[in-house]
Amino acid sequence: MGPRPEDGAPPSDVRRAGRALSLIRVGTCAFTDHQGLYPPGVKPGERLSFYAREFNVVEVDAPFYGPLPLALADRWLAAVPEDFRFDLKAPGSTTGHRAANPEEERHFAQFAERLHRSGRLGAVLLQWPPWHRLTAANQARAAEAVARFAPLVTAVEFRHRSWYEEGAQLTAWLTGLPAAQVIVDAPVGPDTAPPWQPAIARRELAYVRFHGRNAAAWSSPGLATSQERFRYRYAPEELAGRVPDLANLAQHAGEVHVLMNNNYGSYAVDGARWLRDRLAPRPGTQTQFDW
């Protein structure tokens, strides 16, 4: 039997009752296809309500690929409690993954606004592609995207390391927009994923994404599916190494959203449960782990 939730005790500031515990939300990227989360026989339309029994935040990436029916936002809201939060990944047409599409962006903004009016929108995620290097033109493009979604809270993730060479300058620039700086745990390469940089650019939100550490597949062309890039199961000691930084973020940000994006099999759910039980335990959800 692997480690129990009490193993690898968290730092004292995570244990302390009150502010730090109440501000950390832990969940996964997407809620539809995780192994080990849903009982047999649960229909697709019922999955979100089951998900919300364990986690209080989810990052939804479906809008990145195409528009969602506006009525779907209402069904999502009916499936989750009032303290649940949705983070929405903006369309790829907004962030240069495909050709610009103003109509798609307007539709996305309407969808996000429905969640925002209910108080359950966390942030709009703007994930820029690896070829989006730090240039004056690309800075202006990113700033314009943030401005178009105001007053919604936005979180910005860059995939090229050039943005992070002067980390303090990036944080200051995002603060001026304003936008949250996405903190990334991912394979680190010379031109690919950014380093771990636990900085807060927008006081309302610290936004953390765990992509896995599959260095061999992260930048490899010709993968059978993009899911192979995230085929990585974090060991408990790897997650434990991030706990002090996550706890510190909770002392300085309005909320901390911790999202597991290593969506392969049960890997994301396992990691989210492990971190939740140490950072933000929810009654009745504590898990025994068999790693």
Mean pLDDT of the chain: 87
Sign for the CA dihedral angle at 144, 149, 150, 153 comes to negative
Tell me the mean pLDDT in the region 190-215. 88
Low-confidence winner among 46-55, 56-65, 182-191, 256-265 (lowest mean pLDDT): 182-191
pLDDT in the model for residue 190: 61
In whole angstroms, give the CA distance from residue 266 to residue 54. Answer: 14
Low-confidence winner among 61-70, 115-124, 148-157, 213-222 (lowest mean pLDDT): 213-222
pLDDT in the model for residue 223: 56
Domains of the chain: 12-279 (3.20.20.410)
Does the pLDDT value for residue 20 go beyond 80? no
Burial of residue 18 (CB within 10 Å: 0-12, 13-18, 19+) is exposed
Sign for the CA dihedral angle at 243, 245, 250, 254 comes to negative
Q: What is the pLDDT of residues 92-119, one digit of tens each?
A: 999 999 999 999 999 999 999 999 999 9
Q: What is the pLDDT of residues 241-282, one digit of tens each?
A: 999 999 999 999 999 999 999 998 999 999 999 999 999 887
Bigger pLDDT: 13 or 58? 58
In whole angstroms, give the CA distance from residue 22 to residue 47. Answer: 25
Using omega within 30 degrees of 0 as the cis cutoff, is the peptide bond preceding 151 cis?
A: yes
Bigger pLDDT: 220 or 2? 220
Query: pTM for the complete prediction?
Result: 0.88
